[in-house]
Amino acid sequence: MSPPDRIQTETLTYGRAAGFDLLAERYETPERRDRAGKAVVMVHGGAWTSNDRHSHEVLCRDLASSGLSVFSLDFRDGRNGKHPCAVQDITAGVRYVRARAAAFDIDPDRIGLIGSSSGGHLVLLAAIQPDVDAHRGTPIHADVDAESVSARVCCVVALWPVSDPLFRFRYAQRAGREELVAAHRRYYRDEAHMRQASVQRALRAGEMQCLPAALVVQPGEDANVPRPMTLELVREYQDAGGSLNYLFCPGLPHAFAYQASAETSRLADQVRAFSGFAHASLAASGSYLPCPNVAGHRGRRDGGVGTAKARLGETAYYVVASPL
């Protein structure tokens, strides 16, 4: 692997919406790229109202050091729009990377999504509903019509995702977290709008187009993302027939991977390992997995999950495996 400080970066304009140029930061090692041509599109958190494409720089550099091509996006949010404007821009980012795959020397069928916090919510929506009309409309900077390119991904990584905005809104109200309450109100019109944006609700309603392999990470000391909400996400994704791995990281706070640390490096290793599994599954099947005709499929109803424990360095990670 290349040292993170040797990673090359490039600022790209991937699209334009509502008078804004949409920028992406590309991270890549100067050495030979990943032989499989894998890429990830990175989506920052910030309660749908703050941060930018540089917020995940530490994690982007770490992932790029192993040969992944990483594209970290700016996108519209509560500072200049309402839901689902962010998802429209994120799917445009995926379409841009896919449309220019040959220029970037990547495989258009080996593109994944990674997002944290509110960004985790956004990438989950983009992953399960990549090509619905509500998530289209942002033009891309490429020699193709954005509408002709799919935004499907082969895997999605959701780091401490705010997967159910209304659940978290009411949690923030009870906890007196007025800054979070205000952020919700900036990006969503009202509580009905928050309810409609829930990943869990979409899964229960069978509104997903795809169920790519998913990795969900929950820090043990996360004061922003209530654990019951995340466990509900795990249950609904698996009940819908999706393959999902759940990593519980005891003792770590919300957004710990924004800073360089041993824990951040271990998380990057886990993401790489998961990415390798997801891409291997794709290669073996020759198609996106799992992306069946999911209408009406509810999968396992007992709510059970298999568990295993792995210790990485000083941090114990509890892995909840997908049902067999």
Which position has the higher pLDDT, 279 or 119?
A: 119
Asked if residue 99 has pLDDT above 90, the reply is yes
Cite the beta strand spans of 30-179 per DSSP E.
39-43, 69-73, 111-116, 155-159
Contacts 24+ apart (CB under 8 A), 4-8: 4/58, 4/61, 4/62, 4/64, 4/65, 5/61, 6/30, 6/65, 7/61, 7/64, 7/65
Name the phi and psi angles at 129, rounded to 5.
-130, 60
User: Which residues touch 201 (CB under 8 Å, ≥6 apart)?
Assistant: 164, 195
- Amino acid identity at 145: D
Confidence at residue 35, expressed as pLDDT on a 0 to 100 scale: 57
Asked if residue 169 has pLDDT above 70, the reply is yes
Confidence at residue 145, expressed as pLDDT on a 0 to 100 scale: 80
Asked if residue 309 has pLDDT above 50, the reply is no
Asked if residue 106 has pLDDT above 50, the reply is yes
User: Which residues touch 19 (CB under 8 Å, ≥6 apart)?
Assistant: none
Q: How far apart are CA 200 and CA 305, in angstroms?
A: 17
Judge whether 24 and 92 are in contact, CB under 8 Å: no
Q: Six-digit token pair at 278?
A: 């997801």
Judge whether 128 and 208 are in contact, CB under 8 Å: yes
Query: What's the mean pLDDT in 155-167?
Result: 99
Please name which of 263, 47, 250, 13 lies closest in space to residue 168, comparing C-alpha atoms. Answer: 47
Query: What's the mean pLDDT in 216-239?
Result: 98
**pLDDT band, residue 316 (cuts 50/70/90):** very low
pTM of the predicted protein model: 0.88
Which position has the higher pLDDT, 25 or 280?
A: 25
Q: How far apart are CA 165 and CA 203, in angstroms?
A: 14
Asked if residue 61 has pLDDT above 90, the reply is yes
Mean pLDDT is lowest, of 226-230, 259-263, 307-311, for 307-311
Q: What is the extent of the structural domain holding 191?
A: 4-321
Confidence at residue 285, expressed as pLDDT on a 0 to 100 scale: 54
Confidence at residue 295, expressed as pLDDT on a 0 to 100 scale: 37
**DSSP 8-state symbol, 258:** G
- Amino acid identity at 293: N
Q: Residue 33's domain is classified under what CATH number?
A: 3.40.50.1820
Judge whether 188 and 167 are in contact, CB under 8 Å: no
Radius of gyration of the chain (CA): 18
Counting the structural domains of the chain, the total is 1
Confidence at residue 93, expressed as pLDDT on a 0 to 100 scale: 98
Query: What's the mean pLDDT in 26-37?
Result: 76
